[in-house]
C-alpha cells in the first residue's frame, strides 16, 4: 500500500479526536449527573 | 426528564448501531475496495474524510435550526440542542481538515493552501469555535443563549458557501462526486461509513444535549439559591 503513513495518520487522527471527545463527554456527563443527584451540589439546603 | 431519558436511550441505540457499521466500513474501505486509478491507495482517506463533512453538515444544521427555534420560542431545550450541534460540528470540522490536509500533501504537494474550499471551511471552524468561546465568557444564561444563537445563525450562512465554493471558484479542490461518477466498489464502503458517522454524530449530540441539560439545571438551581440567600 503506497502512502501508508498518510492513510494511517488520517485514520488515527480521526480516531484520537473523536475518541478523545467521546471520553471527555462521558466524564462531563457523569459529573453533571452527580451534581444533579439529591445529595449533590444542587440540593436544596435543609431548613 | 422523561424526554431526556428517551434522548439518552435513542442516542445509545445510535452509538451501538454505529460500531458494526464502522468495523465493516473500515474493512471495505481499507482492504476490499480497489485503489484509485490516479491517486492510488491514498484515496482511501476519502472513507474517513468525506463522512467527517457529512457529520459537520448535519451537526451545524442541527445547531442552526435549534438556534432559530431558541430565538423564536426562548425554550432552553433548543439552546441545549444548539450547543450540542455546534460542538459536535467543531469536532468533525477538525477531523475533516486534518484528514484533508493529510490527503492533500501526497496529491497536491502541500498540506494547506488558500484554496476557496479550504479557506471557507477554515472560516467555518473559526466561527463555530468562536461560538463555543463566547459561551464560556457570558455569565447570564439568557444573554449567553441569545447571543450564541445569533452567532450560530449568522455563522451558518457560510455553510452553503462552503458547499458551493468548489463550483463557484474552480481551483484545486475537486467538485462533489456522485455515485454515478464513482466506482460501485468505492460507493459501498463510502455509504456505510457515511451512515456510521451519521449515527456517531447522533450519539455524540445526544450525550452533549444531556450534558447541557444537566449543567443548565444545576446553573438554574445555583442562581435560584443565590437569589433566595439574598
DSSP line for B180-229 = TTS-HHHHHHHHHHHHHHHHHHHHHHHHHHHHHHHHHHHHHHHHHHHHHT
**Residue ranges of A 11-40 with Cβ closer than 8 A to chain B:** 11, 13-14, 17-18, 21-22, 25-26, 28-29, 32-33, 35-36
3-class secondary-structure state, position B70: helix
The pLDDT of residue A45 is above 80:
no
Which candidate from B94, B103, B218 shows the least CB-CB separation from A41?
Answer: B218
The pLDDT of residue A22 is above 60:
yes
pLDDT at B230: 66
| CB burial of residue A46 (10 Å; 0-12, 13-18, 19+) | exposed
pLDDT tens-place values along chain B, 230 residues long? 679 999 999 999 999 999 999 999 999 999 999 998 888 999 999 999 999 999 999 999 999 999 999 999 999 999 999 999 999 999 999 999 999 999 999 999 999 999 999 999 999 999 999 999 999 999 999 999 999 999 999 999 999 999 988 888 878 887 777 777 788 889 999 999 999 999 999 999 999 999 999 999 888 888 888 888 76
State the cell numbers at A25.
463527554
| Nearest-angstrom CA–CA distance, B229 and B223 | 10
pLDDT at B219: 86
pLDDT at A39: 54
Nearest one of B51, B45, B143 to B101, comparing CA atoms: B45
Contacts of B159 (CB under 8 A, 6+ apart): B57, B60, B61, B64, B124
Specify the residue for cell string 484509485.
Answer: B36
The pLDDT of residue A47 is above 50:
no
Secondary structure (DSSP) of B76-105: HHHHHHHHHHHHHHHHHHHHHHHHHHHHHH
Specify the residue for cell string 502541500.
Answer: B110
Residues of B in contact with A41 (CB under 8 A): 218, 222
| Nearest-angstrom CA–CA distance, B70 and B221 | 21
Which candidate from A2, A10, A35 shows the least CB-CB separation from B45?
Answer: A10
Decide: A24 and A31 in contact? Cβ < 8 Å: no
Residues A17, A31, B85: CA angle, nearest 5 degrees: 45
ipTM of the modeled complex? 0.92
Q: How many CB pairs under 8 A join A and B?
A: 85
CB count, 10 Å around CB of A45? Answer: 7
In percent, how much of chain A has pLDDT > 90? 60
User: What does pTM read for this prediction?
Assistant: 0.92
**DSSP assignment letter at B36:** B
What is the CA A47 to chain-centroid distance, rounded? 37
State the cell numbers at B90.
467543531
Residues B109, B115, B118: CA angle, nearest 5 degrees: 95
Q: Do B103 and A6 touch (CB under 8 A)?
A: yes
Amino acid at each position: 500500500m503506497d502512502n501508508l503513513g498518510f492513510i494511517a495518520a488520517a485514520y488515527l487522527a480521526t480516531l484520537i479526536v473523536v475518541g478523545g471527545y467521546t471520553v471527555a463527554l462521558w466524564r462531563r456527563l457523569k459529573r453533571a449527573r452527580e451534581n444533579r443527584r439529591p445529595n449533590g451540589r444542587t440540593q436544596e439546603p435543609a431548613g | 426528564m422523561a424526554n431526556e431519558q428517551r434522548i439518552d436511550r435513542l442516542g445509545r441505540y445510535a452509538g451501538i448501531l454505529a460500531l458494526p457499521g464502522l468495523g465493516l466500513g473500515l474493512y471495505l474501505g481499507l482492504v476490499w475496495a480497489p485503489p484509485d486509478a490516479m491517486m492510488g491507495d491514498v484515496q482511501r482517506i476519502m472513507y474517513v474524510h468525506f463522512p467527517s463533512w457529512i457529520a459537520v453538515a448535519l451537526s451545524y444544521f442541527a445547531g442552526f435550526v435549534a438556534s432559530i427555534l431558541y430565538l423564536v420560542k426562548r425554550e432552553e431545550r433548543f439552546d441545549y440542542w444548539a450547543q450540542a450541534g455546534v460542538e459536535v460540528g467543531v469536532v468533525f470540522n477538525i477531523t475533516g481538515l486534518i484528514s484533508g490536509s493529510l490527503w492533500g500533501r501526497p496529491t497536491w504537494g502541500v498540506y494547506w493552501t488558500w484554496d476557496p474550499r479550504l479557506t471557507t471551511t477554515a472560516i467555518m471552524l473559526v466561527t463555530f469555535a468562536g461560538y463555543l468561546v463566547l459561551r464560556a465568557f457570558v455569565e447570564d444564561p439568557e444573554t449567553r443563549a441569545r447571543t450564541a444563537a445569533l452567532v450560530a445563525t449568522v455563522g451558518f450562512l457560510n455553510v452553503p458557501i462552503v458547499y458551493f465554493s468548489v463550483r463557484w471558484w474552480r481551483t484545486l479542490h475537486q467538485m462533489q462526486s456522485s455515485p454515478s461518477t464513482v466506482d460501485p466498489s468505492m460507493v459501498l464502503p463510502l455509504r456505510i461509513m457515511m451512515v456510521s458517522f451519521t449515527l456517531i454524530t447522533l450519539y455524540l449530540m445526544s450525550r452533549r444535549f444531556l450534558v447541557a441539560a444537566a449543567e443548565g439545571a444545576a446553573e438554574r438551581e445555583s442562581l435560584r439559591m443565590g437569589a433566595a440567600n439574598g
